[in-house]
Structure 1
Amino acid sequence: MTRIETIAEGVTLYLGDCREILPTLGKVDAVVTDPPYGIGYAAQPIVGKGKTRSNHEKRDWDDSPVDLAPVLAIDAPKIIWGGNYYDLPPTRGWLSWFKPDAPPSLSHFELAWTSLDRTSKQYAWSIAATNAERVGHPTQKPLELMKWCLGFVPDAKLILDPFMGSGTTGVAAVRLGRMFAGIEREPKYFELACKRISDALKQPDMFIAQPSKPKQEAFEL
């Protein structure tokens, strides 16, 4: 059973496995996502010389990349964070997030692979890692970072995030007046995404038209 939450017209969230849900979706205009590579590690902050677990459960897919083949098959521009961990096609442009205040135990850079047809250069954007609105997901990206990403696909009306997590891509999308489809298989993160995106629709960016009203569905795969 896959649960579907229609948060507003054009804003739909799916609880389930993206490998099963993606074939049921229609056309999207862009994919912006942060696959769950290494959540097991991200959930274990370095303390002294050892690692201590945080409260995030470790899953069987935590320590290895997920299969991106179904995502790569989507006919739309793509921005994939952590793309340097995957065997992806050559690209003319990478996005990079420089984190000037990252602790020594963590990387000061994160890279996003893109399918965008741009000149061969690296786009760097600097924001403090502590600026992320932490809401309970171990690898959550800052909202401003995801809004910056959406600036690279200005004509994309419907944004898809097949690894939605706590919904930051969706919050960025609705704040910018875009439509959004998100998929998440962990129920607690799905519930969090539903709440965050619903709240974002109540506080949109100024001068941007917003989608309208909610309903709930479910369907069998």
Structure 2
Amino acid sequence: MPIERRTIGPATLVLGDALDVLTDLAPGSVGAVLTDPPYCSGGNVRDRAAATSAKYLHHSRRGAYPEFQGDTRDQRSFLAWSTLWMGRARRLVPAGGLLVVFSDWRQLPVTTDAVQCAGWVWRGIVPWDKTEASRPQLGRYRVQAEYAVWATNGSRILAGPVAPGVFRAPVPKVKHHIAGKPVELMAGLLGVMEGPVLDPFMGSGTVGVACVARGLPYIGIEVEPAYYEVACRRLEEAVKAASTVAPNAG
């Protein structure tokens, strides 16, 4: 059950576990799903059960952000969990609606499996090129990309705008989350989506900020109270900024 729910302009932010909250939403009540769940990566090279700051941050940056939950599953449990939440999300989306879910290279195969196990029609992969600003690895290729796996709830008519198949943007210099992504990346992915947009793993609210910029209603769910508060603050700032600009738009 939700622990807390706030309405901020066109956005609804819910504090709670996604698996619980998704069951409370009405079928067909959202237009699309865009989310960046915990990847549970690093099993071959790092301790998967380590703190998220130890896995994803340089030691000099540890303590800069709150830890986030749900990042310790092995691949079998990650597949089962992903299938559960994706299946619950699919019942909320009308026929033809979109699912876009992020993954890194390690979890890309199992993420595409989960999409199909949950009943979505897997349509492709949109790479996010993080540019040459990503960390180099001597004698190796840069780990320069992450991936947005996209799917539809059944068939989708060939109509409407066209979005890029690759996005190129550096990791933000100022982040609000350990795994924070650029607002412009999310805004670009929203270009072919209908609202309300559901984000079951809201984190610091980047998808929500992009939705405000796009004029789309947003529903975000976050289990970690510290990040829930960060997201609420960012959405309040985004809605205020949008309302300030709007009267001068004409």
Amino acid across the alignment from 1:23: T
Match of 2:99 among 78, 83, 88: 78
| Structure 1 range deviating more: 57-66 or 164-173 | 57-66
Equivalent pairs counted in the alignment come to: 198
Counterparts of 2:68 and 2:197, CA distance in 1: 27
Alignment partner, residue 44 of structure 2: none
Task: From the superposition, tell whether residues 128 and 177 of structure 1 become closer, same or farther in structure 2 (CA, over 3 Å).
Answer: same
Is 2:29 aligned against 1:20? no
Distance in 2 (CA, whole Å) between partners of 1:139 and 1:94 is 20
* Corresponding position: 1:94 with 2:125: yes
Which 4+ stretches in 1 moved above 4 angstroms?
Answer: 39-42, 56-60, 116-119, 205-208
* Structure 2 counterpart SS, 1:13: strand
CA distance in 1: counterparts of 2:226 and 2:57, whole angstroms = 25
Aligned to 2:191: 151
Give the secondary structure class of the aligned counterpart of 1:35.
coil
Query: Percent of aligned positions with the same letter in both sequences?
Result: 31
Q: Distance in 2 between matches of 1:33 and 1:59?
A: 15
User: Which is worse superposed, 102-111 or 171-180?
Assistant: 102-111
Mean CA deviation greater in 199-208 or 140-149: 199-208
1:196 Cα shift? 0.1
- Structure 1's unaligned 5+ residue stretches are 209-221
Q: State which of 232, 242, 245 in structure 2 corresponds to 1:194.
A: 232
Q: Return 5+ residue gaps in structure 2 as ranges.
A: 42-49, 159-163
Taking the aligned partners of 2:185 and 2:69, their CA distance within structure 1 comes to 28
Alpha-carbon spacing, 1:202–1:14, altered in 2? closer, same or farther (3 Å): same
The higher-RCO structure (CA 8 Å, 6+ apart) is 1
Amino acid at match of 2:86: V
Cα shift at 1:173: 0.3
Structure 2 counterpart of 1:151, one-letter code: G
In the alignment, which residue of structure 1 is the partner of 2:47?
A: none
* Secondary structure class of the residue paired with 1:104: coil
When residues 25 and 139 of structure 1 are mapped into structure 2, their CA distance, relative to the original with a 3 A threshold, is same
Distance 1:166 1:41 in 2: 18
* DSSP 3-state at the match of 1:192: helix
Which is richer in helix? 2
Matched with 1:211 is none
Kept in 2: contact 1:93–1:118 (CA 8 A): no
With 109-118 and 177-186 compared, the bigger mean Cα shift is at 109-118
Secondary structure of residue in 1 paired with 2:178: coil
Query: Which of 63, 71, 94 is the aligned partner of 2:72?
Result: 63
Query: Superposition RMSD on alpha carbons, in Å?
Result: 2.9
Q: Displacement of 1:25 after TM fit?
A: 1.2
TM-score by length of 1: 0.77
Give the equivalent residue in structure 1 for 2:6. Answer: 5
